[in-house]
Structure formats: C-alpha cells, structure tokens
Amino acid sequence: MMNWLKVIILSFICIRVSADALQLQQHWQTPLLTQGKPPIHLPTLETSLEPKSCATCHTTQFQDWSKSLHSHAMGPGIIGQLVDMPATATKQHQACIRCHAPLQEQAVSLVTSLLELSTDQNLHEQGLICAACHMRKYQWYGPPHRNGQPSEITKFPHNGWQSSSIFQSAKFCSICHQFKPEEYALNGKLLENTYEEWEASRYPKEGKTCQTCHMPNRRHLWRGIHDPDMVKQGITIKNIDFTKSDNIITAKLSIKNTGTGHYFPTYVTPRVIIEGYQEDKNGQVLSSTKQQMIIGRKVTMNLTKELADTRLAPDEQIIFNYNAKYHPKTVSFALNIQVEPDAFYTKFYQITLKSAKKGKKLLQKALEQSQQSTFSIYFKRNILKR
Ligand code: HEC
Ligand code: HEC
Ligand code: HEC
Ligand code: HEC
Ligand code: HEC
C-alpha cells in the first residue's frame, strides 16, 4: 500500500543523510584549508580566530570552554613531544594536531614557534579553539537557531552564520573520538571506539547524543573522566553486603554503568581501582589485607598488546567481592573507589622522559599533572572496634 510514498520518503531520508555525511566530510577535511583573506568590510574583532575575541560576545561559551579539556588540548604532554619533532615536518605534526589543534593557522603558528621565529604566535597553544569547530573560509557555522530562526545567513554580526544540523549529531564528535576501521586496533578492538560503543547502546534509540550528556543545554562543558561529578553521574555504586564473623571479613560492592553513553571508561588511558582493606588503630592500612579490582583497558606501553579489558559496557554491572581474614590489629574496614584519569600517561611520560631532549621540562610538568588528577568517588569506613 502506498509503496510509491514509501519510496519517496525513503529516498528523501537517504538524500538528507548523505547530504549530512558530505557536509561533515567537507567540514572536517584533513588537513583543514586556510581561512583565506578576512572579508574587508568586517571589523577585526569579528574576523579574529582568537577565542578571546569570540568571548566579547559569546561569554558563556568562552567561560565553559576555558575550563574544558578542549581548551587544554595542547598541554605540556603533547607540546613536549612536538618540540622534539623536526620543525617543518608538517605531516608528522598533522598526525597529532588534526585532533588537538586542527586549524591550518594553528599548524602555521606551530611551525613558526618550532623554528623559534616568533614567540607571540601562539594560536596552536590554545588547543581546540572555537574557530576550529565553527569557522571555515571566514564563514561561521553553528547549530540551527534555538528558536528555529533564523536558519539562513543573516547579515549581522560576522556576516551571520550558516545553520547546520551536523553540530547536533554524534558524528560531529566522532571525527576525533572514533578511529576509522582501518586505524589502530588491539585484540580486534579499535584503540578509540567511543562512537561505535555509543551506537551499540540504548542511548541513540532514546535520542541521547554525545551533546545531550557532554553539552547539556548547548553548554560547552565537555566534562568527562577528569571530573568527579561527571563520573558519579555515569555509574551507580551499591554497598550490598558487609559481614564480619570471628575471623573473616566479607564485603560486596556493585558498580553498574547506568549513565555513561559508552564503555566506562571509553579509553585505554584511565584506570578505576576498587579496593577493600583493614586498618589499624592509627588508621594505617594493613597491606596484607588489601584486595583490589580494576576497571579499565590495560595495554602495553608500546601499544602492541592488550593485557586486560574490564571496562563496563553500557548497563553492565560488576561485583567486587572482598573476603579476607580478620587481622589481629584491625580496628576498621574501608572500601574505596579511586579514579586515575591519566594512569597510562603517567607511565608513558616516565618512559618518554628518558629519551626527551628539548621536551624534557614540558614532559616533566605533564608527568606531575598526570599524577595529580587522581580522585576518589566512593569511600566508606566501618569501625569494628573502639
Ligand atoms: C561582535 C560580537 C560577536 C563576535 C566577536 C563573535 N560573534 Fe558569533 N554571533 C554574534 C551574534 C550577535 C550572533 C547571533 C546570535 C543569535 O542570533 O542568537 C552570533 C552567532 C554565532 C553562532 C551561531 C549561533 C547559533 O545559534 O547557532 C556561532 C556558532 C558563533 N556566533 C560563533 C562565533 C565564534 C566562533 C566567534 C569567534 C571566532 C564569534 N562567534 C565571534 C556575535 C559575535
Ligand atoms: C577536532 C577534534 C575534536 C572534536 C571534533 C571533538 N573533540 Fe573532544 N577532545 C578532543 C581532544 C584532542 C581531547 C583531549 C584534550 C586533552 O586532554 O589534551 C578531547 C577531550 C574531550 C573530553 C574530555 C575527556 C576527558 O578525558 O575527560 C570530552 C568529554 C569530549 N572531548 C567530548 C567531545 C564531544 C561530546 C564532542 C562533540 C560535540 C567532541 N568532544 C568533539 C578532540 C575533539
Ligand atoms: C583521532 C584524534 C587524535 C589524534 C590523531 C591524536 N590524539 Fe592525542 N588525544 C586525543 C583524545 C580524544 C585525547 C583525550 C583522551 C585520552 O585521555 O586518551 C587525547 C589525549 C592526549 C594526551 C593526554 C592529554 C594531554 O593533553 O596531555 C596526549 C599527551 C596526547 N593526546 C598526545 C598526542 C600526540 C603526541 C599525538 C600524535 C602522535 C596525538 N595525541 C594524536 C585525540 C587524538
Ligand atoms: C569541539 C567543537 C566545538 C568547540 C571547540 C566550540 N564549539 Fe560552539 N558548538 C559546538 C557544538 C557541537 C554546538 C551545538 C551543540 C548542540 O546543538 O547541542 C555548539 C554551539 C555553539 C553556539 C550556539 C549556542 C546556542 O545556545 O544556541 C555558539 C554561539 C557557539 N557554539 C560558540 C562557541 C564559542 C564562542 C566557542 C569558543 C569559546 C565554541 N563555540 C567552541 C561545538 C564546538
Ligand atoms: C548518556 C550520557 C553520555 C553519552 C550519550 C555520551 N557520554 Fe561520554 N561520558 C559520559 C560520562 C558519565 C562520562 C564519565 C565517565 C567515563 O569517563 O566513562 C563520559 C566520559 C567521556 C569521555 C572521557 C574519556 C573516558 O575514557 O571515559 C569522552 C572522551 C567522552 N565521554 C566522549 C563521548 C562521545 C564522543 C560521545 C558520543 C559518541 C559520548 N561521550 C556520549 C556520559 C555520556
């Protein structure tokens, strides 16, 4: 019945989908083309690629972005590696900056600074800047207006902007958060697989995109594994059992991925440690009583082998079982969940530092930062004796 109508509707949907795919491909071609010459009729404030210029009018986006990791995407850990690459090896630079500082103008400022020609060119140091997502050839692009209007180029300011639905799609994020099928995989799983993990979950069916969770109400927050509140929102922790008999302590803790739109965690770099231990009267951990379980995808430092993958798929649950002899010195028993967002990098920097030349100081700083990002999301102490 009404087959012709189905055909028309279907082909309309197909054209729409492939138009979006094409737009996305053009928007994110690698390497990106230069913006070209700024339109002469616009004031310099409006044609500047500097995030602080956008901030004049888009204050909230700027404030949010400044606190996000996108603005720190060119930290000491990556610049420390770039300074030891040949200054004009732009292809080699691209392999990193296509995600960390993708504008062509940033590629140029990187080369300028590596050649030590100028120190006031620092567009690359500002990481994933507003213009990298929103500007191509001095045209501004953004999601459809909140009120559905205006959808076409309006004249004021910065010549208006082009409304594009790709900004509302999870594919937009996949450009840097999903490896292509032919890119690096270990044990049959791509090293970066966030989009696919999301696609296989219930979230697309519920209409929840990356933006829904990471840019609520279009805010430019991008909070993730480095943010304790965000991590707590993504999982449910339940202390389901604790018993102490004369000589045995047992405890059960369940952790379920109830609100993370992909694996918890999605990357190989973080590590989550669930641990139970007994403490003496001074609160000292009695190390022989310590038992641990790790959530994460453990790979070797040279990325040639996957050693373990205990990440939680969306809606998956694990139970940590503690079972140990009651130590004669025990006064209290504690359960703790520790998040190390940069566990891989800590080891990686320690190794890279050995061969670093110009990058030594920066990598030293990156190492310290990676060690400081650790936090606890759950802690419970049971006093057994007074
Ligand atoms: C002189 C002020 C000014 C400056 C500077 C400016 N903008 Fe805008 N921009 C505006 C105004 C006003 C609008 C229209 C807002 C509206 O209609 O709700 C707009 C619209 C936008 C939109 C579309 C919003 C939507 O609803 O989709 C984007 C994206 C955008 N600007 C990005 C930028 C970026 C990135 C920069 C810096 C490179 C920048 N703007 C610099 C004033 C400015
Ligand atoms: C041009 C590449 C690029 C695009 C597009 C991009 N990201 Fe990112 N994103 C990065 C890079 C690079 C980092 C890591 C920054 C750092 O720590 O050095 C990052 C970090 C993040 C983090 C923080 C991760 C953490 O460890 O806490 C979240 C969350 C995130 N992005 C979500 C998104 C979402 C959602 C979108 C789509 C709206 C998106 N990103 C689009 C490159 C990109
Ligand atoms: C496909 C996009 C992509 C490419 C290409 C890429 N990265 Fe990243 N990088 C990311 C994302 C996303 C993160 C954040 C997630 C994480 O912590 O693993 C990140 C995190 C990092 C971090 C840790 C956070 C920080 O800023 O200190 C370093 C260091 C880093 N990348 C260096 C590099 C280097 C060096 C290259 C080139 C050899 C490179 N990256 C290529 C996407 C990319
Ligand atoms: C990683 C890419 C990325 C970066 C970097 C980025 N944005 Fe956005 N921006 C987006 C996406 C995606 C949306 C649409 C979110 C949605 O529809 O849920 C958006 C929406 C907007 C809007 C429309 C907001 C609204 O309420 O309608 C403005 C204005 C804007 N961005 C300005 C900026 C400014 C200014 C900066 C830098 C301080 C910036 N953006 C950095 C991806 C980015
Ligand atoms: C239902 C909400 C939800 C959706 C949908 C979602 N995320 Fe997340 N995301 C989270 C939570 C919660 C965390 C913090 C816990 C964690 O790191 O796994 C997180 C963490 C991250 C991180 C930090 C790195 C890491 O190892 O975990 C990145 C990067 C990220 N998300 C990107 C994305 C991208 C890209 C998409 C879309 C393909 C997406 N997220 C969809 C909730 C969501």
Nearest residue by C-alpha to atom 9 in ligand 1: 157
Q: What is the reported pLDDT for 1?
A: 44
Instruction: Give CA–CA dist 104/343, Å, rounded.
Output: 32
What is the number of other CB atoms lying within 10 angstroms of the CB of residue 27?
17
Give the dihedral of Cα atoms 259, 264, 267, 271; nearest 10 deg.
130
Contact, 310 vs 359, CB < 8 A? no
Place of tokens 């994933």: 128
Instruction: Give CA–CA dist 53/379, Å, rounded.
Output: 44
The end-to-end CA distance of the chain, in Å, is: 79
Q: What is the reported pLDDT for 350?
A: 97
Ligand 5 proximity of 295 Cβ (cutoff 6 Å)? no
CA angle 151, 155, 157 (to 5 degrees): 100
Nearest residue by C-alpha to atom 3 in ligand 4: 133
Amino acid residing at 86? P
Show the tokens assigned to 275: 């641990």
**Closest among 233, 266, 270, 254 to 335, alpha carbons compared:** 254
**Closest among 81, 130, 65, 58 to 101, alpha carbons compared:** 130
Query: Residues with Cβ < 8 Å from 320, sequence gap 6 or more?
Result: 252, 253, 254, 255, 274, 276, 293
What is the number of other CB atoms lying within 10 angstroms of the CB of residue 48?
16
Nearest residue by C-alpha to atom 34 in ligand 1: 54
Show the tokens assigned to 253: 């803790």
**Which pLDDT tens digit goes with each residue over 130-147?**
999 999 999 999 999 888
Q: Which of 41, 52, 57, 215 most suits a substitution to test ligand 1, by most atoms within 8 Å of the C-beta? A: 57
> Side-chain half-sphere of 182: how many Cα atoms within 13 Å?
0
Q: Which of 24, 61, 67, 176 most suits a substitution to test ligand 2, by most atoms within 8 Å of the C-beta? A: 176
Ligand 2 proximity of 99 Cβ (cutoff 6 Å)? yes
Ligand 1 proximity of 56 Cβ (cutoff 6 Å)? yes
Ligand 5 proximity of 344 Cβ (cutoff 6 Å)? no
Q: Which of 177, 221, 235, 262 most suits a substitution to test ligand 5, by most atoms within 8 Å of the C-beta? A: 262
**Closest among 328, 235, 303 to 274, alpha carbons compared:** 235
Nearest residue by C-alpha to atom 27 in ligand 2: 224
Nearest atom (ligand 5) to Cα of 270: 26
Backbone angles phi, psi at 310, to 5 degrees: -115, 20
Per-residue pLDDT of the chain (386 residues; tens, 9 = 90+): 456 556 555 555 445 567 889 999 999 999 999 999 999 999 999 999 999 999 999 999 999 999 999 999 999 999 999 999 999 999 999 999 999 999 999 999 999 999 988 777 799 999 999 999 999 999 999 999 888 765 555 567 898 889 999 999 999 999 999 999 999 999 999 999 999 999 999 999 999 999 999 999 999 999 999 999 999 999 999 988 899 988 999 999 999 999 999 999 999 999 999 999 999 999 999 999 999 999 999 999 999 999 999 999 999 999 999 999 999 999 999 999 999 999 999 999 999 999 999 999 999 999 999 999 999 999 999 999 76
Query: Residues with Cβ < 8 Å from 362, sequence gap 6 or more?
Result: 76, 77, 79, 80, 83
Nearest atom (ligand 3) to Cα of 366: 27
Backbone region of residue 148 per phi and psi (left: phi > 0; alpha: psi in -120 to 50; beta: other values): left
Instruction: Give CA–CA dist 69/99, Å, rounded.
Output: 12
